[in-house]
Amino acid sequence: MNTNLQAIKQRFGIIGRSPLLDRALGTAVRVANTDLSVLITGESGVGKEVFSKIIHGLSARKHNKFIAINCGAIPEGTINSELFGHEKGAFTGATSERKGYFESFDGGTIFLDEIGEMPLDTQSFLLRVLESGEFIRVGASKVQKTDVRIIAATNADLFEQVKKRKFREDLYYRLNTVPIQVPSLRDRPEDIYMLFRKFAVDFAEKYRTTPVQLDDRAQMVLESYSWPGNIRELKNFAEQVSVLAEDKMVTAERLARYVPQILKRNLPMIPETSRRNNDDGASMQEREIFYKLMVDMKKDLNDLKNLVFELIRNNDLRVPDAQDIRSLQPAESYQQRSNVPAPLQDVSDFLSDYHEDRDDTPNNQANQVKPIIINREGGQSYSPSEEVEESLSLEENEKDLIHKALIKHKGRRKEAAQDLGISERTLYRKIKQYEL
């Protein structure tokens, strides 16, 4: 097979030893002897038309006609007439009947390049030709038959166009019987300098000059370029260097001087302003999420505090010190007995107001450390409690306020009187009256 491929490369002037190129060429050779429809895909300038000529040249139709038609170059209003022909008077300007390509190249091969640019109505006519070999001239009613092989090519993603309803799905699957993917030039870097030498020699033979050559560094520059225009761009580049080069051995520095764009890499990148805006937007979004998380955590903490307060208040419980709480085993004493979340490790700061006046001796403290247990006997969620009515006596409240003021100011009557908003003499009288 390798010998056969090499012979085919020499016959059709194909330069390259890339495995991707050999794979595409092998597929073209195997499908040539059939009448199956072929869809050739690849970027612009990779040589898709050459593959169509190889398929035709190795097929049983090689002695019949071959034509390459660029569907994107024919106006939408005349493409049906170009492909299928028209009758006299079918439209303005149709002074005589005309044969279309499907009628003129009967028995041969039609290469439809840029098939993705074909109008939708023409696609329906083409589908009928592929399925039954029948077509109708524009303005006629007679059905005619044709026997042509269709090879299509495109540099666009036809499947994406099918999704966008710009290309018929049935036609796509009918054309894509045997797909051939022609590799781009950047995917076959081992072939770049070989092609450059071929184009340079052809130019030198045409104009009877010495072909230019590149040193090692210049070859590296040539192979590292992305070549968005593929083989077509490389051929133009070789001709440009052949004209401008004074010395036939071209260095990398002179190569860059002749063709400055050879140093460009054409890599996709995000502009600095766009990247900065994206970073700011991402950081703002992260901050918003963080703030929301903190607010939710604060709310949960407050709910937990309220829950613990209610448990202590309604169950007549004593809260131990922080050291005692850390020594407890929540998994055994609390979490297994209650569905309420376990208390925080250090709750002595915000539970000090709920300590009762009890015997705080070490022995009693040790004996009073108990897990929190909710008594739900009798179907009640909490133990019954007695509501005590608050005293509204002015005398009792006045006595209590004077007592608190004296304690606050450590018995200094002048400061206590100022804090209460009365005279020191009145305060002295009240102290005697209430026996404080």
- For residue 387, is it within any domain? no
Reported as a single tens digit per residue, the pLDDT across 385-421 is 555 555 667 777 888 888 888 888 888 888 888 888 8
Q: Give the β-pairing of 143-145 and 213-214.
A: unpaired
Per-residue model confidence (pLDDT) at position 339: 46
Tell me which of 124 and 335 has the higher pLDDT: 124
- For residue 388, is it within any domain? no
Q: Are 161 and 167 in contact (CB under 8 A)?
A: yes
Give the tokens for residue 181: 């993917």
Give the tokens for residue 111: 């290469």
CB crowding 48-80: b at 16 or more within 10 Å, else e: bebbbbbbbebbebeebebebbebeebeeeebb
pLDDT above 60: residue 156: yes
Per-residue model confidence (pLDDT) at position 395: 76
Can you give the CATH number for the domain in which 216 is found? 1.10.8.60
pLDDT above 50: residue 346: no
- 254/138 same-domain check: no
pLDDT above 60: residue 180: yes
Name the residue type at position 136: I
- For residue 291, is it within any domain? no
Per-residue model confidence (pLDDT) at position 247: 86
Name the residue type at position 371: P
Q: Is 286 exposed, middle or buried (0-12, 13-18, 19+ CB in 10 A)?
A: exposed
Q: Are 423 and 417 in contact (CB under 8 A)?
A: yes
- 143/178 same-domain check: yes
- 158/230 same-domain check: no
Can you give the CATH number for the domain in which 398 is found? 1.10.10
**Distance from C-alpha of 362 to C-alpha of 357, rounded to nearest angstrom:** 15
Domain termination site, one of 162, 183, 204: 183
- For residue 274, is it within any domain? no
Tell me which of 377 and 26 has the higher pLDDT: 26
- Helix, strand or coil, per DSSP, at residue 213: strand
- For residue 294, is it within any domain? no
- For residue 389, is it within any domain? no
- 54/86 same-domain check: yes
- For residue 195, is it within any domain? yes
Can you give the CATH number for the domain in which 168 is found? 3.40.50.300
**Distance from C-alpha of 45 to C-alpha of 185, rounded to nearest angstrom:** 9
pLDDT above 70: residue 358: no
Task: Give residue 94's pLDDT band: very low, low, confident or very high (50, 70, 90).
Answer: confident
Q: What is the mean pLDDT of residues 34-56?
A: 94
Per-residue model confidence (pLDDT) at position 289: 78
Phi then psi for residue 214, to 5 deg, are: -120, 140
Per-residue model confidence (pLDDT) at position 306: 82
Per-residue model confidence (pLDDT) at position 397: 80
pLDDT above 90: residue 123: yes
Q: What pTM does this model have? A: 0.59
Could you give the number of structural domains in the chain? Answer: 4
pLDDT above 50: residue 50: yes
Per-residue model confidence (pLDDT) at position 260: 85
Reported as a single tens digit per residue, the pLDDT across 281-318 is 555 667 777 777 787 888 888 888 888 877 777 776 66
Contacts of 419 (CB under 8 A, 6+ apart): 405, 408, 409
**Distance from C-alpha of 371 to C-alpha of 334, rounded to nearest angstrom:** 6
Reported as a single tens digit per residue, the pLDDT across 188-237 is 999 999 999 999 999 999 999 999 999 999 999 999 899 999 999 999 99
- For residue 295, is it within any domain? no
Q: What is the mean pLDDT of residues 173-181?
A: 94
- 177/124 same-domain check: yes
HSE-up (13 A, CA, CB side) for residue 210: 8
- 127/76 same-domain check: yes
Domain range for residue 407? 394-434
- 24/91 same-domain check: yes
- 174/196 same-domain check: no
Domain termination site, one of 183, 216, 248: 183
Tell me which of 271 and 34 has the higher pLDDT: 34
- 205/250 same-domain check: yes
- 158/211 same-domain check: no
- 430/362 same-domain check: no
Per-residue model confidence (pLDDT) at position 122: 94
- 46/141 same-domain check: yes
Domain termination site, one of 155, 183, 211: 183
pLDDT above 90: residue 432: no
Average pLDDT, the chain: 81
